[in-house]
Amino acid sequence: MKAMITVALTAAFMILLNLGEVNAVEGKTGVIVVDIQGDFTTWKNGSLAVNGTDEAFIKKVEEATRKLKQAGYIIFGTQDWHPANHVSFYTNHPGKKPFEAIKIDGRTQILWPPHCVQGTENARVLIDNNLFLAIVKKGQDPRYDSYSGFQDDGGAKTEMDEILKRNGIKRVIVYGIATDYCVKATAIDAAEAGYQVVVVESLCRGVAPDTSKAAIAEMKAKGIKIVKTLEDVL
């Protein structure tokens, strides 16, 4: 009888330990899904579409995000949300062309086609918005670009860090569009804010192979863990 009681207590203790591990995951690990918006996808014929962002890719991201949510992870998103007079739009610089780089107040600004304009269809986040606890808008100040979900190029902070801390997040899993711009900037700023960061490479798409490869190397140098697939996280 004593042995049976010991076995039962041990089993109960292990269940409590496992519940504790689940709660630790829920309380300490978050997911940041970066800029899954129409204007960045070939699926929606976006004005700034990144190669490989067809419907299959978007569905893959949604499925992965749903799986993470079901596993107890807290899901956050970022969303470019630019005013029509945004500094990054080449159309707001007479005589300039898309993808030119100019100097503004001593900083380099790449000029992009107008994209993710506030209130337009292709600014919408394409995966099920009910998966997210919060979607953080960025790039709302017409004077500054904002690749990172944490701050714009002028240093103004978004509410991302505050929201993560409010939810007890210590570690973040990051993926989305684009590897060499907004994913990289968001991941690096997360690391510099003190979070442990994991980037899932297969759930990202980059603007160009060379800059994406350089972005992966830069993130690794910052102590960010790069994994190939979601299974490497789970």
Using CA atoms, how far residue 221 sits from 142, 143, 225, in Å, is 32, 30, 9
How is residue 70 written in tokens?
């079901």
> What is the distance of C-alpha 99 from the center of its chain?
23
Kindly list the catalytic residues: 35, 138, 182
Using CA atoms, how far residue 176 sits from 14, 16, 146, 165, in Å, is 37, 35, 15, 22
Mapping DSSP onto H, E and C, the string for the chain reads CHHHHHHHHHHHHHHHHHHHHHHHHHHHEEEEEECCEHHHECCCCCCCCECCCCHHHHHHHHHHHHHHHHCCCEEEEEEECECCCCCCEHHHCCCCCCCCEEEECCEEEECECCCCECCCHHHCECCCHHHCCEEEEECCCCCCCCCCCCECCCCCECCHHHHHHHCCCCEEEEEEECHHHHHHHHHHHHHHCCCEEEEEHHHCECCCHHHHHHHHHHHHHCCCEEECCHHHCC
